[in-house]
């Protein structure tokens, strides 16, 4: 703007702010942060008007896009359940998710155990990346924080976290002797047989499977690590004399 001393008026969000042109033709107006935070989401017209000493005016209008909310971001589970066992840790694991369609082409950054992995959001809003088996095998048993971040076009940062539990150690498992001596008599075949055992208390809620003569029976680990699997009497009565493997 030419003309030192000319008044500049800026209108935004229904409020008006003023400034003065300096000797170099420059001007500046400070917009209070409280007023900016009060602007509605979306496009807001910003109009600048300059008035010369003769009262003539010139103005221009542009749209200011306000976006305070970070983009939508989703993050899938690792290895389906966020628990990584030894077999899963020996293979590359795919991590995927979605973001707002408007974020197509932007980068999602995932961090795990001090390492960073990136993916580009596709035109359909989907993204995916691979966690290499070589990196997963360096993880000791325990819990790890997985963090995914996306900085949208407005500079807002969306962050999601998951807890990954690494459990690569097989649980201990005990099985008590059947009927106390691993022998079934004719009398004992008349009633259902309870198989008892124990495992780590950390396995509470997990399923124990017992196979006998080609049939499988299941039980659930209790809070104290104990478990019970019942074999029906009619199944026992169908057994002939001999040795059977119970697994």
The structural domains of the chain, ordered by start, are 7-66 (2.60.40), 78-166 (2.60.40.10), 173-237 (2.60.40.10)
Of the candidates 75, 84, 81, the residue with the CA atom closest to the CA atom of residue 139: 84
Q: Give per-residue pLDDT as tens, 166-218.
A: 999 888 899 988 777 888 888 888 889 899 999 988 789 999 999 999 999 99
pTM for the model = 0.61
pLDDT tens digits, one per residue of 57-81: 899 999 988 877 788 899 999 999 9
């Amino acid at each position: 703007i030419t003309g030192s001393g000319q008044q500049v008026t800026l209108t935004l969000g229904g409020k008006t702010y003023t400034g003065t042109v300096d000797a170099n033709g420059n001007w500046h107006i400070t917009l209070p942060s409280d007023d900016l935070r009060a602007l509605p989401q979306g496009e807001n017209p910003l109009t600048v008007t300059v008035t010369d000493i003769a009262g003539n005016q010139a103005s221009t209008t542009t749209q200011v896009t306000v976006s305070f909310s970070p983009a939508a971001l989703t993050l899938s589970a690792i290895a389906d359940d966020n628990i990584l066992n030894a077999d899963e840790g020996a293979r590359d694991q795919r991590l995927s998710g979605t973001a707002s369609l408007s974020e197509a082409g932007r980068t999602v950054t995932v961090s795990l155990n001090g390492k960073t992995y990136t993916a580009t959001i596709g035109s359909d809003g989907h993204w995916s990346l691979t966690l290499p088996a070589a990196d997963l095998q360096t993880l000791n048993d325990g819990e790890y924080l997985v963090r995914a971040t996306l900085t949208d076009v407005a500079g807002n940062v969306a962050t999601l976290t998951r807890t990954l539990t690494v459990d690569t150690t097989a649980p201990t498992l005990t099985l008590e002797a059947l009927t106390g001596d691993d022998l079934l008599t004719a009398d004992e075949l008349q009633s259902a047989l309870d198989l008892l055992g124990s495992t780590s208390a950390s396995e509470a809620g997990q399923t124990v499977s017992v196979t006998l003569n080609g049939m499988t029976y299941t039980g659930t680990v209790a809070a104290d690590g104990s478990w019970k699997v019942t074999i029906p009497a009619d199944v026992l009565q169908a057994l002939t004399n001999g040795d059977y493997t119970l697994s």
